[in-house]
Structure 1
Amino acid sequence: MKWLDSLLPLGILTSFVSAAPIVERQLDLYELQISCPANKKLDGRFIGLKNNTLGVFDRDDVSPVKVYTVDSEKEGCNELHTYPVGIVDHSIGLLGPPDLLTLVDMMNPRSINPGDGDIAQWDTFQLSDGKLTNDAEGQWLAFPSGGDAWKVKWTDGLAVVTTDFMVVDVLLKSAGEGRYNGD
C-alpha cells in the first residue's frame, strides 16, 4: 500500500500537466508573388511548391507556398520557413553557383552541403517595402521551364544566362495567421 501513496501525487501532477493549455505562437504568414509588368502571363502569379520544387506553376496544379519569417543570425537578414510547421524544418533558400542561385525548398537547411563551387543560403533574405531580396547585390530573374511554369533565380549580374529570362520582383503578400506549437 505504501507504493500507492507514492503514486498518488504523481497521478495528480500528471492530470494537471495534461490539462495545461498547449502554448501556441502566432505566426504572420506570407505568400510570394511575382511582379513583372513586362509579362502579363507571369505578373501577379504566386510561387508554389510542386514535387519538392519551388517555382511558378500552372494555376490549377499547385497552391502558393506559405512562409513565415524568422530573424537570421546575420544582421538585417531573415529566414523564410514554410508553413505548416512539421517535424522536419523546411526553409526557402538559394542554391547553386554564386552568380546564379535558384530559389529552392531546403529540408534542414543547416545541414545542406551544396557541393563544389556551389553555395546554399537560407538566412540572407531581406524584407523591405513588401519586397523580398537577398543581402548580396543582385536581382530576381524568372526563366521559363516548360508549359506555363517558371524557375525563379537570384543573380549578381555576372552569370551568363539565356535571353529568355524576365526581370521580376518577389513580393511578400499577407496570407493571414498560422499557429505553431512552440517552446
Structure 2
Amino acid sequence: MKWTANFLSFGLLAAFVSAAPVAERQLDLYELQISCPANKNVDGRFLSLKNNTLGVFDGDDVSPVQVYPVESDKEGCNELHTYPVGIVDHSIGLMGPPGLLDLVDMTNPRTVQPGEGTVAQWDTFRISDGKLSNDVDGQWLAFPSQGNSWTLKWSDGSAMITADSMIVNVMYKSAGEGRYNGD
C-alpha cells in the first residue's frame, strides 16, 4: 500500500511538471537572396527548397527557406538550421563530389555519412558583410534547371564547370524572429 501512495504522488508530480509552460527561445531568422546584377531573371530572388535542393524555383508552391545560425565547432563558422524547428533537425549543407558541391537540405546533419568520393559539409558556412560563403575558398555558381529555375553549387575552382553556369553572391537577409521550444 505504501508503494501505491508513492507511485500516485509521483504521478501527480509528473502531471504537474508536464503541464508547466515550456520556455521559448527567440531565434533570429534569415533568408538567402541571390545577387547577380548581370541576370535580371535571378537577381533579387530568394532561395527556396525543392526535392532537398536549394535554388530559385518557379511556381506558386515555393516560399523562401528560412534559417537560423548556430555557432559551429569550427572557428568562425556557422551551421544554418532551417525553420520552423521540428522533431527532426534540418540544416542546409553542401554535398557532392569534391570541387563542386550542391546546396541541399540535410536531415540530422550530424549523422550524415557521405558515400565514397562524396563530401558533406554543414558546419562550414561563413557570414560576412551580409554575404554567405563557405570556409573553403571558392564561389557560388547558379546552374539552370527547368523553366526559369536555378540550383546553387559551391565551386572551389578545381571541377570542370559548364558554360551555362553563372557566378552569383548569396546575401544573408533578416527575416524577423521565430520561436523555438527547447533547451
- Structure 1 CA distance, aligned partners of 2:102 and 2:2? 66
Aligned partner of residue 27 in structure 1, secondary structure: strand
Does residue 119 in structure 1 map to residue 125 in structure 2? no
Cα distance in 2 for residues equivalent to 1:42 and 1:146: 14
Give RMSD over aligned pairs. 1.7
Quick one: distance in 1 between partners of 2:60 and 2:50? 12
1:125-174 superposed Cα distances (whole Å, 9 cap, x missing partner): 00011110000100101010120110100111121111111110001111
Q: Which amino acid aligns with 2:137?
A: E
SS at match of 2:10: helix
Residue 98 of structure 1, CA deviation: 1.7
Query: Any unmatched runs of 5+ in structure 2?
Result: none
What is aligned with 1:176? 176
1:108 counterpart letter in structure 2: N
Specify the alignment match of 2:152 in structure 1. Answer: 152
Rounded to whole Å, the distance in 2 between the matches of 1:61 and 1:9 is 51
Deviation of 1:106 after TM superposition, in Å, equals 0.6
Identify the residue that residue 102 of structure 2 maps to in structure 1. Answer: 102
**Aligned equivalents of 2:158, 2:7: Cα separation in 1:** 70
Q: What are the ranges of 5 or more consecutive residues in structure 1 without an aligned counterpart?
A: none
Match of 1:81 in 2: 81
Distance 1:34 1:26 in 2: 26
- How far apart are the structure 1 equivalents of 2:146 and 2:19? 53
One-letter code aligned to 1:35 = S
- Map Cα deviations across residues 95-134 of structure 1 (whole Å, 9 max, x no partner): 0112111100111112222212110000000001111000
Q: Percent identity?
A: 73
**Residue number in structure 1 paired with 2:68:** 68
Counterpart amino acid of 1:77? C
Distance 2:139 2:51 in 1: 26
Residue deviations 1:6-39, cap 9 Å, x none? 4564355345424422111111111110000110
In structure 1, what is the Cα distance between the partners aligned to 2:87 and 2:15? 26
| 1:116 alignment partner, SS class | coil
Question: After alignment, is 84-93 or 3-12 more displaced?
Answer: 3-12
- 3-state SS of paired residue (1:110): helix
> How far is the alpha carbon of 1:52 from its aligned partner?
2.5
The aligned residue for residue 35 of structure 2 is: 35
Query: Which 4+ stretches in 1 moved above 3 angstroms?
Result: 1-12
CA contact (8 A) 2:53 2:151 kept: no
Report the equivalent of 1:23.
23
